[in-house]
Amino acid sequence: MSGAAPAEGGERTRYRLRVCFSKTGRLRYISHLDFIRAFERAVRRSGLPVAYTEGFSPAPRIAYGWPLPVGTAGLAEYLDIELMERVDPGEAVVRLGRALPRGLEVRDARYVSPRGPALMVEFDTASYLVRVPSGLRGPEEWRGAVERLLARPTLEVTREKEPAGSPGKGRRARVVDLRPLVRRLRVRGAEDGWVTLFMELALSEKGTARPEEVAGLLREAVGEGPAEPGSVTAVRLGLRREAPPRG
Amino acid sequence: MTPRDVFDPGPSGLPVPDEVLARVARPARYLDGEPGAVHKDHAAVAVRFALAYPDVYEVGMSNLGLRLLYHYLNRREDTVAERVFSPWTDMEAEMRRSGLRLFALESGAPVAAFDFLGISLQYELTYTNVLGLLDLSGLALRAADRRPGDPLVIGGGPCAFNPEPLAPFFDLFLLGEAEEALGELVDAYLAWGRAAGPGPGGRPRSAAERFDLLAALATRVPGVYVPEFYDVTYREDGTVRAVKPRRPGIPDRVVKRVVADLDACPLPPDPVMPFVETVHDRAVVEVMRGCTRGCRFCQAGMIYRPVRERGREEVLETARRILAGTGYEEVSLTSLSTCDWGPVADAVRELITEHGRKGVGLSLSSLRTDTFAVDLASKIQEVRKTGLTFAPEAGTPRLRAVINKGVTGQDLVEAAGAAFGAGWDRLKLYYMVGLPTETDEDLEGIVGQVAEVQEVYESRGEGKMVARRPLALTVSLATFVPKAHTPFQWEPQVTLAEAERRLHLVRRGLSRGGGGSGGRRRRRGGIKVDWHNPAMSRIEAVLARGDRRLADAVEEAWRRGARFDGWTELFRPDLWDAAFQARGLDPAFYANRLRPEDEVFPWDHLSPGVEKAFLSRERERALAAEPTPDCRWAGCPGCGVCEATGAVTRLATGGGCR
């Protein structure tokens, strides 16, 4: 829906602007909370007629989608801004673009129905490019490993959670099955000791898979040991809906 | 976009390899790119200045002084200033493993490539991190061991008023406010280069040239202290006999620098706005410098004199520009006592009218304990809810007179009553234990006062309908640390065992539900008691009044692994005790000794303008529990700062020193 879409939010008419943006370069190292603060401040600087929450600490009415993990760049992420008056989407892109720091780029904006589903519901699948050290194996061996992996009924990984603030203390391990979360997986290319994977992973409130985890399972399947920590890099290419709309 | 481009970190590259950033906590600490950060071509400037804070990014970026100096140096076309912070322990391990040298955030250039390395010294428990900064930069720890072309290592900030435990590690210290002095220092450096051979901005080429440069700076720039130019001799009992300059032309006494008129040093309208949430994550407008209330325990109140207020218009305009440029959701008016700033009530009203409807909150630092302060806070919380903190510091009128904290029990009761009436149901109270002349009765006084505040809460709105939410009260306790250049610089700190006993006494009293409740038992909200680790306060006390010999212990503690000593979870008292023992130094000599009236102190040759004779008089008045009024409203008590520095009290309303 690209036309103006007034909401019946009490007495006020409001507009829900869906912004598509990228988070790349050094900005991929800021956390989701850091990003939210930076974005809200940019919105204040932009002078857009944004609506504010009521209560003791008013904040701009912005709904965020699935958080990007620290270190993962995103090329087409989404958020919704609630505006008090309609601004031309092209102008909103320009004004936001001027206010945002380098590394956060607005790619597109359009109005969506204020009564439409939330971003977390709108999108249930994320696609990634993942760069993994290929070790001694060639692309064919990696392709074979992908096939074997996808043929398995379960893909179990162990997650260790460290309580914040006390590293090393009270680690709790938990086994998670990633198989239902891996929608697609294939080898996209290989060069100079790296293999590039394309994967589509499910996003669900019940759990998400990290691309690094899938890459780790694949390294195991291809006969390489675990990757050096920090050597696997993922970029989120985009978000989409796989399941048919509910209702 | 090809897969290769997708993974490219970008045109500027990063000083830290990606796989390292992927492994460390909060990697954004080690990257710049924040709005407001200044980038200059190093080849196009004459002077490169690294400004370092010996703690992590989030703490360092909350320091107003560092941010002001960043701005003032970068305003010069011939100079670039860049930021450096301590890497957290995980990053230090990564750097040592991969041989990565400490770098400045903006350019990623190694610290060793700068002309100056200025280190902010705010707190004694950052001293081991200072050594970490030097070592990770690849610089020799001791100034005497550095190469001729290495950066000149400069210390500044409150700890520069007794920097002796760090003296061998620094080339020079700058005493007092650096806005103007740093510019003079850069000019003197350039002038020396032109005159002495290497050219303007050229580095010394030999040890003799480096020595010559330091001498030029020490003689031409007032406020510069080069510790190497002073000989310290000791008496048999271990105290200092004398500190004397070793060369002609070097001042016997270095007097601090002061900015006479703050409005002539405007605040930067475009501060760097961090991505990582900092300790004080908001727009900051400094409204006043100095405080002459004269609390006798407070070093800041002595070393930052005289009081200089910024004008109302200047403050409002700065707030306006910072908010428009950054988009911050809160602006803080800061100073040592913001309620004392003349135009405060009017400015608060203006700021709320102008920015409140955009949801921008306001905060005031260091709230006074009175109804005036509570009225201001109530206006503020109409926009954004804030916490409320009072600092009575001591539990009895007698002890408050000793420390010259002009707060009566009645003030606290009235302020608390006003706060509860305005709807607050949480409150924080600050107290110290171990103050000079303190007895158990004073400690019980704290318990009684807290109980009285609870009573005020329970009896509020009597006869009216009031929600029965229990009061959330936090009592924060700290062990008193006697500091140099204060009336209590002669006083011993209580021993660690005694500090623990006193803290325990107060805590037990508070957990019993208070002594002053007259047997009436009511349902009360719990009191949360926080206390600062007294073992940390002990090391702070050793270093705060230490001499040059302690440098060995600081180095030893660092070599044994002491890092981030100000962080409770990383503080290791065992490393410090082992260090003192290994170097044959007695911490009690520095922390717990009552100094004779006529003792020569290791910091006597460094002057904040406030005279030792004044401090001595203040100490006598303290012991007699006699208050000394504020010179803004009463007569001049003769502290000496106006005579020594040439600056005078300057009020926004036009008034001043009489």
The three-state DSSP-derived secondary structure of A176-238 is EECHHHEEEEEEEEEECCEEEEEEEEECCCCCCCCHHHHHHHHHHHHCCCCCCCCCCEEEEEE
The backbone torsions φ and ψ at residue B59, rounded to the nearest 5 degrees and listed phi first, read -80, -50
Beta-sheet strand order (sheet of B116-120):
B79-85, B47-53, B116-120, B152-156, B172-174, B224-225
Quickly state the pLDDT bin for A191 (edges 50, 70, 90).
Answer: confident
The amino acid that residue B93 corresponds to is A
The pLDDT, as a whole number, for residue B114 is 97
* CA–CA separation, A53 and A60 (whole Å): 6
Residue B270, chain A, CB below 8 Å: the answer is no
* CA–CA separation, B393 and B396 (whole Å): 10
Mean pLDDT of the B406-412 span: 88
Domain identity same for A141 and A91 = no
Query: Which of B623, B656, B657 is closest to B637 using CA atoms?
Result: B657
What is the domain extent for residue B23?
3-249
The pLDDT, as a whole number, for residue A7 is 47
The pLDDT, as a whole number, for residue B462 is 63
**Pick from A162-171, B131-140, B150-159, B577-586: least confident:** A162-171
The amino acid that residue B340 corresponds to is D
In this complex, do A75 and B6 lie within 8 Å of one another by their Cβ atoms?
Answer: yes
Quickly state the pLDDT bin for A161 (edges 50, 70, 90).
Answer: confident
Mean pLDDT of the B259-264 span: 91
The amino acid that residue B653 corresponds to is T
> Is there a domain that residue A40 lies in?
yes
Residue A17 DSSP symbol: E
Identify whether B306 is preceded by a cis peptide bond (ω within 30 of 0): yes
> Is there a domain that residue B243 lies in?
yes
* CA–CA separation, A180 and A162 (whole Å): 25
Domain identity same for A233 and A140 = yes
Distance of CA B18 to the CA centre of its chain: 34
Per CB-CB distance under 8 Å, the chain B contacts of A81 are none
**Pick from A90-104, A114-128, B42-56, B373-387: least confident:** B373-387
Domain identity same for A141 and A89 = no
The backbone torsions φ and ψ at residue B97, rounded to the nearest 5 degrees and listed phi first, read -65, -40
Residue A54, chain B, CB below 8 Å: the answer is no
Quickly state the pLDDT bin for B464 (edges 50, 70, 90).
Answer: low
pLDDT at B52 over 50: yes
Mean pLDDT of the B245-267 span: 93
> Is there a domain that residue B466 lies in?
no
In this complex, do A70 and B326 lie within 8 Å of one another by their Cβ atoms?
Answer: no
The pLDDT, as a whole number, for residue B573 is 97
Per CB-CB distance under 8 Å, the chain A contacts of B21 are 29, 71, 230
Domain identity same for A144 and A185 = yes
The pLDDT, as a whole number, for residue B461 is 65
**Pick from A103-117, B345-359, B371-385: least confident:** B371-385
Mean pLDDT of the A223-231 span: 88
The backbone torsions φ and ψ at residue A104, rounded to the nearest 5 degrees and listed phi first, read -115, 115
Q: What is the pLDDT of residues B181-233, one digit of tens each?
A: 999 999 999 999 999 878 877 899 999 999 999 999 999 999 999 999 999 99
User: Quick check: B550 and B544 in contact, CB under 8 A?
Assistant: no
User: Quick check: B241 and B600 in contact, CB under 8 A?
Assistant: yes
- CA torsion through residues B126, B127, B130, B136, sign: negative
* CA–CA separation, B156 and B65 (whole Å): 10
In this complex, do A131 and B7 lie within 8 Å of one another by their Cβ atoms?
Answer: yes
* Residue A95's CATH number: 3.30.70.580
* CA–CA separation, B197 and B174 (whole Å): 25
In this complex, do B31 and A26 lie within 8 Å of one another by their Cβ atoms?
Answer: yes
Residue B325, chain A, CB below 8 Å: the answer is yes
The pLDDT, as a whole number, for residue B468 is 65
**Pick from A214-218, B152-156, B420-424, B618-622: least confident:** B420-424
> Is there a domain that residue A76 lies in?
yes
In this complex, do B27 and A24 lie within 8 Å of one another by their Cβ atoms?
Answer: no
Residue A68, chain B, CB below 8 Å: the answer is no
Q: Does the model's ipTM exceed the 0.90 cut?
A: no
In this complex, do A34 and B35 lie within 8 Å of one another by their Cβ atoms?
Answer: no
> Is there a domain that residue A235 lies in?
yes
Facing residue for A101 by CB, picked from B34, B329, B569: B34
Domain identity same for A111 and A160 = no
* CA–CA separation, B582 and B559 (whole Å): 12
Q: How far is A189 from chain B (nearest CA, A)?
A: 9
Quickly state the pLDDT bin for B24 (edges 50, 70, 90).
Answer: very high
Quickly state the pLDDT bin for B9 (edges 50, 70, 90).
Answer: very low
The pLDDT, as a whole number, for residue B121 is 98
**Pick from A192-206, B92-106, B324-338, B509-523: least confident:** B509-523
pLDDT at B120 over 50: yes
pLDDT at A182 over 70: yes
Domain identity same for A23 and A85 = yes
Per CB-CB distance under 8 Å, the chain A contacts of B273 are 41
In this complex, do B361 and A57 lie within 8 Å of one another by their Cβ atoms?
Answer: yes
> Is there a domain that residue A21 lies in?
yes
**What is the average pLDDT score of chain A?**
89
What is the domain extent for residue A166?
125-240
A171, A177, A180, A181 alpha-carbon torsion, rounded to 10°: 30
The pLDDT, as a whole number, for residue A153 is 96
In this complex, do A56 and B19 lie within 8 Å of one another by their Cβ atoms?
Answer: no
User: Quick check: B162 and B156 in contact, CB under 8 A?
Assistant: no
> Is there a domain that residue A144 lies in?
yes
Identify the three-state secondary structure at position B430: strand
The pLDDT, as a whole number, for residue A1 is 41
Domain identity same for A134 and A200 = yes
Mean pLDDT of the B571-588 span: 98
Mean pLDDT of the B359-367 span: 86
Domain identity same for A148 and A182 = yes
Inter-chain Cβ pairs, chain A and chain B, closer than 8 A:
108
Query: Which of B109, B121, B123 is closest to B81 using CA atoms?
Result: B109
Pair type for strands A172-177 and A104-112: unpaired
The pLDDT, as a whole number, for residue A168 is 52
The pLDDT, as a whole number, for residue B7 is 66
Identify the three-state secondary structure at position B581: helix
Burial of B512 (0-12, 13-18, 19+ CB in 10 A): exposed
Per CB-CB distance under 8 Å, the chain A contacts of B31 are 26, 29
> Is there a domain that residue B218 lies in?
yes
> Is there a domain that residue A178 lies in?
yes
Mean pLDDT of the A28-50 span: 94
Mean pLDDT of the B106-119 span: 96
Which of A119, A154, A188 terminates a domain? The answer is: A119
Residue B231 DSSP symbol: E
Quickly state the pLDDT bin for A247 (edges 50, 70, 90).
Answer: very low
pLDDT at B154 over 90: yes
Q: How many domains is chain B partitioned into structurally? A: 1
* Residue A136's CATH number: 3.30.70.3190
Residue A50, chain B, CB below 8 Å: the answer is no
What is the number of residues in chain A?
247
Per CB-CB distance under 8 Å, the chain B contacts of A235 are 6-7
Domain identity same for A77 and A112 = yes
Instruction: Residue window 198-217, chain A: list those with CB within 8 Å of chain B.
Output: none
Pair type for strands B283-286 and B330-334: parallel
> Is there a domain that residue B370 lies in?
no
**What is the average pLDDT score of chain B?**
92
Tokens describing residue B184? 């003079």
In this complex, do A131 and B276 lie within 8 Å of one another by their Cβ atoms?
Answer: no
Domain identity same for A97 and A168 = no
For residue B17, what is the nearest residue in chain A, using CA coordinates?
A: A230
pLDDT at A64 over 90: yes
Domain identity same for A213 and A165 = yes
Q: How many domains is chain A partitioned into structurally? A: 2
- In B352-499 the beta strands, taken as DSSP E runs, fall at 361-364, 389-393, 426-433, 472-479
> Is there a domain that residue A245 lies in?
no
Which residue has better confidence, B381 or B225?
B225
In this complex, do B6 and A129 lie within 8 Å of one another by their Cβ atoms?
Answer: yes
In this complex, do B569 and A188 lie within 8 Å of one another by their Cβ atoms?
Answer: no
- Collect all residues with Cβ–Cβ distance below 8 Å to B313 and sequence separation of at least 6: none
pLDDT at A68 over 60: yes
Which of A119, A154, A172 terminates a domain? The answer is: A119
> Is there a domain that residue A66 lies in?
yes
Domain identity same for A110 and A143 = no
The amino acid that residue B426 corresponds to is R
